[in-house]
Each structure stands twice: as structure tokens, then as C-alpha cells.
Structure 1
Amino acid sequence: MNGDELREALRHEMAVVASPPPLDTAAALGAARRARARRRTGWACAGSATVVLAVAGVAAVGTAGAGIPDSGAAGAGAPGTGTARAGGVSPTASGTTPLPGPSDRGTAEPWPTGPDGLPQQDRTAKAGTRYDQGVRLLDELIAVVPAGYVVPEYAPNQSVDDDPPRSSQAEFDGKVNGVDVWRYTSVATIAKGDRTGRVAVEVYTRGNELPTEPCALTRRFWGMEGQCQVVTVGNMKIGVVVQPTIDRRFDQWSAYRHPDGTVTFVAQSRSYSSPKNGLKELPFTVPQLAALAMNERFHLQ
């Protein structure tokens, strides 16, 4: 078969085959729209089922946990946890809820009034009776330092970035049942020869929500934990942490709650800045440290 015969045969075959019907545009669009509608309906049903299952799951969890105490609430009163409450701020050592800082106070209650008759700019008293109480606490702390130790003064060339050898502060800790609770803190470096350690006293005024059990109270100091023992002074029970666990800012500390609710912490450490230049022994024995916590010189308001 030559080329002409092949072309003729192909024309004959095409002539006898029926032509396809013309394309119906409207019908094609309708079919496409129906297919798309079916897909959307399928996704909507699947989504609805997922939502129903999720809601049912949440309801089941809530029902199952209705009789289980919340772990955060159960531990809120545990001493020395230092953990933040859900949805709120971390409690201070006294258990009070701190007021917002100056940048986020908004319409919150203003800071306590200073000696100028105006609210303080932050929680720290810069002047007035509360400030004077903090200074007095430092003087009382220095007064009980045992013989043979000295409390260094500020060096003339000391940098403002260096830890001061002695410091005091009066801070508004919060309001509990309408009562202003204040925290006074004083820290002093003590030296014997070329070796240095430090001592500290912290006082919470009455109205605070610190624990009453001796060791639970003692472990709340600066959020530190440790091995605690109860020491009897007269007819009073004083908690003394004799060995810290993880936080070793201090080696030992004691705590006492006065009958009016005021709480006093007294702490001591062998080292101040360098362990290798630390004191060979602590300045106070455990019974002395316990007795200092209930000393009236640290009973402030």
C-alpha cells in the first residue's frame, strides 16, 4: 500500500464513525458545582463530629477530675515552694500576694503613703518611719556580732556594683485582711582577720500569713530549704535549719513567731564572696542562733 492508498483508507474510516455530540457547557458546570457541594458537605460533617468528640472529651475529663484536689491548690500553702500560682504571681515568703509594679498597677490600690504625704513610687520606703526601722534593724544586727569579729565599712573606692558590706531595706510586702505587712531586711559582712562571712536578719510585721509550725516557718526564709531541727529556748520552740539542701546562700538560719504575729529570721554564713576566704567557723552556735530569733531587739513593727 502506497501513501495515497493509506490516506484514502483513513478518510473512509473517519466517515463511517459517528461524530461525538457537541460539548454542553451548562451541563459540565452543573456537574462541577454538585461535586464541590458534596465535598464541602463532607468536610462540614467531619468537622462537626470532631467538635462533638472534643467537647465530650473535655466534659469527661472535668467529670472524672471533679473529686481530685488541684495539685497547685494543694501545694499553695506548702512551705518553701516558691512556685507561681496558676494565673497569678508568685507568693512572697510571707504568703501575701504582691501588688503590681509601678508599670502595671493601673487602678490598683496605691502604695503606702510616704512621709511627704504622697504614695511611695514603689514598695521600698526611701524615708520616714519605715525606713528608720530598717536602719535600726541593721544597727541591732551589728550590735549582736560576737567579740572578735568586725563589720567592715564601705571602702572609699568601692564600686556601686559591688555587694555592700552592710545594707538595710524596708519594703511593703502586701496587704492582708486590710493590714499593711512590711518586711525589714538587714545584711552585714563580718570579718575575722582576712576571712569574711555574713549575717542577716529579716522581720515580717504582724498580719503576715507565714506558717506557725517551727520548721515550716523556718524553711520559708528566702524560699530556701534544708534540714531543720526544733530547739527549745526557755519554754519556746524555735526552728533552726542546720544544713541547707540546694540553696546555700546561708549555712544556717532560725525563725520565731512572736505572740503578736511578728516573725523574725536570723541567718549566718561562713563565706561572703569567696568560699576559700570564708570563716573557719560560724559566729553563732545553733542554740545562740535560735535565741537570737526571739530577741526583742529584732521585734519591729
Structure 2
Amino acid sequence: MNEEDLNEAFHDVIVRSRPPESMDPGRALERARRARKRRQVRWAGAAVAALVVAAGAGPVLIANYTGNRSEAPLVAGDTGTTPSASTPTPVPTPTVVGTVAPKTRKSNDPWPEGQVDRTATVGPRADRAVTLMNNLSSSVPAGFSTPSLKFPDGRSMRWPQAQYASNDGEPDYWEYMATIPVQKGDRAGKLLVQSTTPDGKPATDPCTLARKFWGGTGACTVTDVSGKKVGVLTTNGHGSFDQWAAYRYDDGTVVYLAQAKKIDDSGRSPLTQPVFTNRQLAELATSAKFKISA
């Protein structure tokens, strides 16, 4: 070993055997300050980089915000020029509405709706006839009354009726009818209203329609009521009624309104004047309160 090797070995021993540096508080505080400054510099650089990225993405974000916000989420760098695919609106499938042919009565068919004969004595149809009677009573002009009078045998002179009117080979249809006594002083006459649901038969002129009521004969005139043509027939003194009006609606519903100055077999003196004039009778026949179409 020469002198140079000896010096190098001696230096190496001294370095490895040097004691650790003492914990000087001042030096430790200084090292902490320098480390804090280095961290602040790194954070500042990161913030600047973020601002640069945001500045570049800003116009894109604004464009997306001011456009249709429901099309797609806001993504930095997205130009917003490609709209998202819209969901097509489903086209409803047309519904075919079926038609039900009216029932045609056949021989030996049972009476409808559980009835024992043509007449409905309870249920909605009977109720409609009662309503028809009440509406007729409320239509009587001042000076007349509609008391609950009776025949000598005790039968009421006020009575409603709902009946199944179809015959064999005809479609189902119904007749609703109401009769009431009308009194003035000690004299009495009567009124009748009948509403028939559409029966499938063709329309006729107003006077032909009027003559179908109870086989009526007499002089008939056509009265115009706000464009509605009403047949008003005055009998020749025979039959139970002196006069009636007949009107057919476009749907086939037919209304008859009849009056008589006397009540047969009532034991009461007849009225000296009819309850309604021809015009009043025609107007009432077109009143919606007397129309029953079902």
C-alpha cells in the first residue's frame, strides 16, 4: 500500500465514523420554511395550468349552456355541433270503433230487462216516465192547475207509463207516455205527452207523422218553430183528444203532445177553452225536456 492508498482509506474511515448533526432548532425551522415555499410554488403552478385549460374550454361550455341543455351533458372540448339522437314520437295506432247492430225482436223472445210484459213498472225506464209526467205538469200555463184527481172508480187520472214497443221483425224501441188532468175552476180537461225512441223507420212529413198518433183524422197544418217543422192536427170532434202536435228529431226520436177539453168518464164538466194555443202546443213539442232517446 502506497501513501495515496493509505490517505484514501484513512479519509473513508473518518467519514463513516462522523457523528450525526446536532438538532439545531433554528436550522430545522429554516428547512421547514424552505419546504413550505416549494409546496406553494407547486400549487401556484397547478392553479395556473387549470386556469389555462378552463380558458380554452370556456367558449365550448358557454355554447353548450346557451343551447339545448337537454341534448347532452357538458363536456370540456366538445364543440356541441353534433346533436344527440332524439327519440321518435310514437304514432298512435288508429282504433277501429265497432258498431253494434240493433237487436231485432223475434217471435217468442222474452220480454227485455226481466219484465213480465211490455210495461216497465220499476227501474230506470219507469223513472223516466215519471219525470216526463212531472215535466208536463210544470208546463201548464197560469190559470190552470194539475191536481191529483181520481175517476169515480178510484183510479188516478195521473199516470205514467214506459213500455217496450217493438213488434216482431222490428228493432228494439221504447215509448214513454204520461197523462195528467188539468183543472180550471170546477172544470177539467187533460194533457198527454208521448216520447218514442228511434225505431229505425224512415222520416215522413210532419202531417203524415201527426196522423199516425192514435189513428187521428182532421185538419193538419205545419208550424215552424225556429226552423223545426211541427205538424199540428185538430180533430173533427171524434176521439179522446181534440188537438195534438207531432215532431220528429233528426235522430229519429218522436214527440207527441195532445190536449182535450174533457176527460171521458170522469163525471166532471169539460173546460171551456183549450189549455194551449196551436203555437204553444207546437213549441212545447220541440222542448228538449220531452225528448227521451233511450
Give the TM-score, by structure 1 length: 0.58
Q: Is the 8 A contact 1:208 1:262 kept in 2?
A: no
SS of the residue 1:139 aligns to: helix
Counterpart of 2:110?
A: 110
> What are the residue-to-residue correspondences of 1:255-294 with 2, within 5 Å?
255-273=246-264, 277-294=269-286
**Corresponding residue to 1:254 among 237, 241, 245:** 245
1:137 aligns with 2:128: no
Kindly tell me: are residues 163 and 239 of structure 1, through their superposed partners in 2, closer, same or farther at Cα, counting changes over 3 Å? farther
Counterpart of 1:147?
A: 142
Identity of aligned residues (%): 38
Aligned partners of 1:276 and 1:192: how far apart in 2? 11
CA shift, 1:245, in A, is: 3.2
Kindly tell me: are residues 187 and 197 of structure 1, through their superposed partners in 2, closer, same or farther at Cα, counting changes over 3 Å? same
Task: Read off the aligned partner of 2:232 and give its amino acid letter.
Answer: V
1:240 aligns with 2:232: yes
Q: Is the 8 A contact 1:149 1:190 kept in 2?
A: yes
Counterpart of 2:289?
A: 297
Aligned partners of 2:170 and 2:216: how far apart in 1? 28
Aligned partners of 1:272 and 1:186: how far apart in 2? 15
Q: Is the 8 A contact 1:151 1:165 kept in 2?
A: no
Aligned partners of 2:123 and 2:268: how far apart in 1? 40
Kindly tell me: are residues 169 and 210 of structure 1, through their superposed partners in 2, closer, same or farther at Cα, counting changes over 3 Å? farther
Give the TM-score, by structure 2 length: 0.59
Kindly tell me: are residues 220 and 162 of structure 1, through their superposed partners in 2, closer, same or farther at Cα, counting changes over 3 Å? farther
SS of the residue 2:163 aligns to: strand
Gaps of 5+ in 1: 1-97, 114-118
Q: Which is higher, the Rg of structure 1 or of structure 2?
A: 2
**Corresponding residue to 2:197 among 199, 205, 211:** 205
**Corresponding residue to 1:220 among 207, 212, 222:** 212
Task: Read off the aligned partner of 2:279 and give its amino acid letter.
Answer: P
Q: Is the 8 A contact 2:257 2:285 kept in 1?
A: yes
Aligned partners of 2:156 and 2:257: how far apart in 1? 19
Counterpart of 1:64?
A: none
> What are the residue-to-residue correspondences of 1:52-131 with 2, within 5 Å?
108-113=108-113, 119-131=114-126
Aligned partners of 1:174 and 1:210: how far apart in 2? 15
Kindly tell me: are residues 268 and 275 of structure 1, through their superposed partners in 2, closer, same or farther at Cα, counting changes over 3 Å? farther
Aligned partners of 2:237 and 2:187: how far apart in 1? 24
1:230 aligns with 2:222: yes
Q: Is the 8 A contact 1:240 1:290 kept in 2?
A: yes
SS of the residue 1:180 aligns to: coil
Kindly tell me: are residues 162 and 212 of structure 1, through their superposed partners in 2, closer, same or farther at Cα, counting changes over 3 Å? farther
Task: Read off the aligned partner of 1:110 and give its amino acid letter.
Answer: P
Q: Is the 8 A contact 1:152 1:165 kept in 2?
A: no
CA shift, 1:164, in A, is: 2.1
Gaps of 5+ in 2: 1-103
Task: Read off the aligned partner of 1:298 and give its amino acid letter.
Answer: F
CA shift, 1:177, in A, is: 7.3
Aligned partners of 2:217 and 2:122: how far apart in 1? 34
**Between Structure 1 and Structure 2, how many residues are aligned?**
189
CA shift, 1:124, in A, is: 0.2
